[in-house]
Structure 1
Amino acid sequence: MTQRPALSTPGHLAEAMRAVEDVVSKLQRGLDEHDADIYNTGFAADVVWGGPFGATITGYDTLHDIHRKLMTRAAAGSSRYEIVTVSALGPDVALAQVRRTPLDPADEFAEMALYVLVRRAGRWWLAAGQNTPIEPGESATDHNHH
């Protein structure tokens, strides 16, 4: 039987958690203020982004233009971001699942995002994100099986 390695490194978890909290706080603030510049602050130049409906966007400039248009027309209503789980895959790589829940009960679009953060020259950057629509109204831990 194949021995499977555990890839997380608990010794780096606190740093990874702080990095994810920082990125998520900027996402939250950017969404609250409808400001794509704030929202995309931590995105790397070569970010790979998976949209909730299957689109793949590569590169900051393309993604920033999309987010700017969405923010201008406030396409995503008021929402709350919730960090579900964070794993440190090394001293400079973090993996996180983050749930976005609409605050308006009439807004039924919720999503779970998988983020990959990488540290370069002392700063953490969002290297990739994948958004997946989920059923609204469930707590993030309802499906959190380890």
Structure 2
Amino acid sequence: MTVDIHGQRPTAATAATDQDSAPAEIARVFSDLEAALVARDAEAFDSVFTDDVVFINPAGAIYSNWDQLHAYHSAALRNSPDAESHYTILALRSLAGGHAIVNVEQTLRTPDFSVTNRGTWVFTERDDRWWVCSVHNTNVAGSARA
């Protein structure tokens, strides 16, 4: 007997509709993050995160709320050289209940080094705005350049 497992396996994503503005709005979040980094503006950078965000940076440090994350980003932006960042959305899945899972690749460049990481970002929609509630990043092996 052969079992068709593909016919029984659900997908996580909801079907996109013509009215689904999530991809464009979420892409705009990443553009805003890029601009905030260039401006070295931690307040603007962290404006997209929920109060109860869980953020794991590429080195594995965990920040379990907005205040911790903002302290980390404030220090990093204050103590780092000028930096540019570019996010590429690898996959975006709109989920039921106003949620989305986004896989991204981020390349960070400073005058002294560059590094690439990949991350999984969880978004939630509240009051017609997309917020980031969880992020897990990991460095891409061999991507660091001095």
Give the TM-score category using the shorter length: 0.7 to 0.9
For residue 11 of structure 1, the aligned residue among 12, 16, 33 is 16
**Superposition map of 1:1-146 within 5 A:** 3-11=8-16, 14-74=20-80, 77-103=83-109, 107-135=113-141, 136=143
State whether residues 12 and 88 of structure 1, in contact with CA within 8 Å, keep that contact through their aligned partners in structure 2.
no
Pick which of 75-84 and 57-66 moved more. 75-84
Distance 2:76 2:33 in 1: 14
Q: How many residues get paired?
A: 137
Code of the residue aligned with 1:122 in structure 2: it is D
Q: Cα deviations across residues 80-99 of structure 1 (Å, max 9, x unaligned)? A: 22122111012510111111
**Root-mean-square deviation over aligned CA pairs:** 2.3
Question: Which protein has the larger Cα radius of gyration, Structure 1 or Structure 2?
Answer: 2
User: Which AA in structure 2 matches 1:59?
Assistant: N
Q: Is the 8 A contact 1:79 1:100 kept in 2?
A: yes
TM-score normalized by structure 1? 0.82
Q: Give the Å deviation of 1:106.
A: 5.9
Structure 1: runs of 5 or more not aligned: 138-146
Q: Supply the distance in 1 between the matched residues of 2:51 and 2:89 (Cα, whole angstroms).
A: 24
Identity of aligned residues (%): 27
TM-score (structure 2 length as normaliser): 0.82
Match of 2:59, SS state, is: coil
